[in-house]
Structure 1
C-alpha cells in the first residue's frame, strides 16, 4: 500500500497546518524552583497544576525538540481514563479499596481534561464517546467476556461497562465477522497534537518558561545539565516517557516500544453509511497484537498498532517515519476489520515510542531525598494517565497528603530491564509469539493460545 506521506512527526500536525516553530533554547545557566524535563503531556500538566496551585513558583520546562514532539503529538487520541497496570501486582502493596480508588481517579481524568480544555479555550476536537472492543473469532470472544467481567468486578461504576452480542456490536460499527464485544462508556476522542499545543500555550500564559531545542545531558540532585547551560532547581521532574532511555543512567528504566499509525483520506458519506460508526467510538480489537482506531473530525479513519516493536538499544525513530512493512500490516488490519475501506487512499503514516516499565505498570513518584520526581511508563495509555500524573506530582511537590498521593501507583519501584541484547530478544520474541498466537486463533483455535501466555511471562506483561 502506497502512502502519500510518511513521517513528518505525525498526521496530527499536518492536520494543524504545520509543525510548530520551536521556542528559543536555554541561553545559559538559570535558577528555578521546579525544573521539568520533557514538554509532553506529563510535563505540561505538571507545570499547569503546580502554577495554578502556587503561582509564585518559578517553573521551567526543558525540551529537546518542541512541546508535543513525542507521543503527546503522535498518539491515537484515546482519552480513555485507562492506564497501564496489573491488579495482581498492585495488590502486593495495596488493597482492593485502593485499586478501586485508582480506577475511579483515572476514569475522572476524562472529565478533568475536558474541563481544562474548555476553561483554557483549547479546541482539540474533543468528542465524548464510548470505547468499543470487538472480537472476530472464538478465542477473542472468550477474552472479551472475561475482560468485561473483570473490569466490572473492580470498577467503581460497573454500570459503565457493557457486554455486547454480535448484532449489537455490528449495529455500532459494521465490523467484518464480528462475534461480539464490550463497551466502556464515558470516554472521549481527541486530536492529540491540538491538545498538547493548547496546553503549552496555557502554561506559557501562566508564566511558565519553555526552553526548546535544548538537550538534557544529565539529571542530578538540584541540577539539570543541558547543552545550553545548567538549570539549578530544588525540585526536578523527569517527564520523558518513551525517551527516558536516552538520558544517561536511565537506559534500562523503561523500554522504548514503537507504535505506528496510518490515516485514510476523508471517506464519502456513502461509505460511512456502509460502515456505520455513527457514535464515533474509540475502536480496538481483542487480538494479542491489538489495534486502536478512531473516526476523526473530518471523517477519516486512523488505525494504529505495533510495527517494528523495538529498536536495539531503545533507539527512537527519525521524525516519525515508519517502515513500509508496518504500513502494509496496518492497512491489512484496517481492511480485514472494515473491508469497505479497501479502495481508500492512505494519506499519512507515522510512528512514535512509548515507555514500558519492567512490570508494565505505570508509576508516578518523588524521591524525598533528591527531590527528583518522575511519571510515565504509560504503555500507550498516556492521554489520560498523564493528567492524573500532573495532579499527583503537584501534591507530592507541594508536600500535601491527599487522596492522590495515597494511590497505589505512587512511588512504586520496579527492577530495570535486562541489558542488551536480552531486551531486544525479549521484545521481539514477545511480538513474534503474539503474532503466531493471533494466527492460530484466527485459524479456528477455540481458546486463547498458550503462546500468548508464554509471551506475557517472558516479558512480565
Structure 2
C-alpha cells in the first residue's frame, strides 16, 4: 500500500500512463528520478528551451520516494542561516535565505497557474519552545537575520502562540509568513501532469541499472538504453546506493508521521484553523499542521537509521513509532487523543553532514549533474534544486552555477560500522536529554555532549 498522501493523490482513471521504457532512445537531457528535484528540473529546462527533448525515467512511479510521503511543510532556510554563513560567507548566505523564501512563493504561483490542487496554503510557520530548556534557543539566529535585513520572524505573545498553534504546550514562539503547507503527493503528481503537457517524456517503472560516461552518456535500464547529451541525477536517498563515491556523503534516516481521521469540529475547538506549520525546538523536531479536510498530521524526525545507506523494508511500511506519535499527538492536543489514526508511514531521508543539499558534476564530467542531501527538508528547497540543475545542464553562467552549493559534498560521515553505531548513540542521547528537559530535570552531561553532534549539523527537519 502507498503512503497516505500518495494514495490519496493517485487518480488512475484521469492520469496519463507513463509506460516503462522499451528499447533504445535518444534525447537531449535524461533525468533520472521522478520526485520534486527531477520534475522541477524538467519543467525549468522546458521553460528555458521549449524545443529541448527531455526524457525522465523513474524506477517506481513519480512521487514514490520522499516527494510523495513527506510532512508537507515548505520552509525557508532562515533557520539554517548560521550554517549557511559558516560554509559560504555572509553574501551567499543572505542570497540563499532570500531565494529559499522566493521558492516557497513561486511554488504557490506555479500551482495556481497550472491548476495543481495540492492544498497549497501560505499561512506561515511557528517555531516554538515546548519546555523551559528550549526557550530562547531561536533568539540568536533571529538576531543574525535581523542584522542582515532578512528577518521574516516576529515574536508573538504566549497566548497568541498557543492560539495559533492550537495547543497550550508551547512556551514561546516566533512566527514567519514565509512558509507554506501542501499535500505533497498531490503536488508531485501535479508536477508530473504539467511536465507531460510541456512535452517531457516520462517512463515510470524504469530503473537505471548503470551509467556510462561519454558523448552521449548512456543510461542503461532493464529493457533499454537512453543516450543523452546531458544527464541529471535526482535520486536523493537512493544516490549513495547507486554510486559508491557518495557512500559516506549522507546518512539514511527516517522521518515518521501519523495523520488522523477527519475531525474538523475538534480542530476548530483547538483554534488550529489555518494551514500554519508548527515546529518545536528539539534537535529531532516535532512538526504538525492540519489539512483542509479537517485532519491533523504530526511527525518526528531522527528515528530509524539505516546501516550502510540501505533502503530498509521498514521505510515502505507503517511507522514502527506509531504509538509514540499517537501519544505525542494527544499531549499536544488532549481533545484529539481519542481520534482514530487514518494512517502512519515513514520514509528514507538523505541526511548530509551539513544538513544542506549539495550539487555537482559526477566524476568531474561536464555533462552529468547531480543534487541530493536535502536532509528531510526538501519541499521548498527542491525548487531551488531545479534551478541549480537546469542551469548546470544548460551550461549557464549565473548565481546558481557559481554558488558553492555546486561544489559537491562538504564533508563525510565516518565509515561503517562507526557511522551506524555512532548515529544510534547520538540519537539515544538526544532522546534522553530531551526527555529529561521535558520533565524539568537537568540532563546528564554526557548526553548533552553527545547531542551536540546532532545539533552541529542542524535540526532533523520536516519537509
Structure 1 residues 174 and 84: alpha-carbon distance in aligned structure 2, compared to 1, 3 A threshold: closer
Q: Residue 258 in 1 paired to residue 250 in 2? A: no
Deviations along 1:365-384, one digit per CA (max 9) or x if unpaired, are 33563421111211111111
Q: What CA distance in whole angstroms lies between the structure 2 residues aligned with 1:37 and 1:79? A: 23
Q: Secondary structure at the match of 2:370?
A: strand
- Judge conservation of contact 2:250–2:353 (CA < 8 Å) in 1: yes
Shift of 1:311: 2.2
Q: What CA distance in whole angstroms lies between the structure 2 residues aligned with 1:231 and 1:165? A: 58
Q: Residue 163 in 1 paired to residue 150 in 2? A: no
Shift of 1:245: 2.4
Q: Which runs of 5+ in 1 are unaligned?
A: 1-7
Picking from 295, 312, 315, the partner of 2:307 is 312
Number of the residue aligned with 2:8: 15
Q: What CA distance in whole angstroms lies between the structure 2 residues aligned with 1:140 and 1:458? A: 16
Q: CA RMSD in A?
A: 2.5
Structure 1 residues 371 and 453: alpha-carbon distance in aligned structure 2, compared to 1, 3 A threshold: farther
Mean Cα displacement is larger for which, 48-57 or 363-372? Answer: 363-372
Number of the residue aligned with 1:119: 113
Q: Residue 206 in 1 paired to residue 198 in 2? A: yes
Which aligned pairs between 1:277-426 and structure 2 lie closer than 5 A?
277-306=272-301, 308-318=303-313, 321-322=316-317, 325-366=320-361, 369-426=365-422
Picking from 134, 141, 158, the partner of 2:135 is 141
Q: What CA distance in whole angstroms lies between the structure 2 residues aligned with 1:307 and 1:87? A: 21
Mean Cα displacement is larger for which, 380-389 or 226-235? Answer: 226-235
Q: What CA distance in whole angstroms lies between the structure 2 residues aligned with 1:9 and 1:318? A: 13
Number of the residue aligned with 2:167: 175
- Judge conservation of contact 1:218–1:248 (CA < 8 Å) in 2: no
Number of the residue aligned with 2:207: 215
Number of the residue aligned with 2:461: none
Q: What CA distance in whole angstroms lies between the structure 2 residues aligned with 1:448 and 1:276? A: 37
- Judge conservation of contact 1:102–1:407 (CA < 8 Å) in 2: no
Structure 1 residues 325 and 393: alpha-carbon distance in aligned structure 2, compared to 1, 3 A threshold: closer
Q: Secondary structure at the match of 2:272?
A: coil
Q: Secondary structure at the match of 1:127?
A: coil
Structure 1 residues 268 and 191: alpha-carbon distance in aligned structure 2, compared to 1, 3 A threshold: closer
Structure 1 residues 452 and 71: alpha-carbon distance in aligned structure 2, compared to 1, 3 A threshold: farther
Shift of 1:321: 4.0
Q: What CA distance in whole angstroms lies between the structure 1 residues aligned with 2:269 and 2:94? A: 40
Q: Which runs of 5+ in 2 are unaligned?
A: 458-463
Which structure exhibits the higher relative contact order, with contacts defined as CA atoms closer than 8 Å and separated by 6 or more residues? 1
Q: What CA distance in whole angstroms lies between the structure 2 residues aligned with 1:444 and 1:12? A: 37
Number of the residue aligned with 1:41: 36
- Judge conservation of contact 1:83–1:362 (CA < 8 Å) in 2: no
- Judge conservation of contact 2:77–2:96 (CA < 8 Å) in 1: no
- Judge conservation of contact 1:266–1:298 (CA < 8 Å) in 2: yes
Q: What CA distance in whole angstroms lies between the structure 1 residues aligned with 2:39 and 2:318? A: 31
Number of the residue aligned with 2:90: 96
Q: What CA distance in whole angstroms lies between the structure 1 residues aligned with 2:335 and 2:60? A: 39
How many aligned positions are there?
Answer: 450
Number of the residue aligned with 1:3: none
Q: Secondary structure at the match of 1:129?
A: coil
- Judge conservation of contact 1:440–1:449 (CA < 8 Å) in 2: no
Shift of 1:100: 0.3
Q: What CA distance in whole angstroms lies between the structure 2 residues aligned with 1:364 and 1:404? A: 10
Q: What CA distance in whole angstroms lies between the structure 2 residues aligned with 1:185 and 1:153? A: 19
- Judge conservation of contact 1:259–1:354 (CA < 8 Å) in 2: yes
Number of the residue aligned with 2:184: 192
Shift of 1:132: 0.9
Mean Cα displacement is larger for which, 319-328 or 192-201? Answer: 319-328
Mean Cα displacement is larger for which, 258-267 or 80-89? Answer: 80-89
Q: What CA distance in whole angstroms lies between the structure 1 residues aligned with 2:199 and 2:394? A: 18
Q: Secondary structure at the match of 2:381?
A: helix
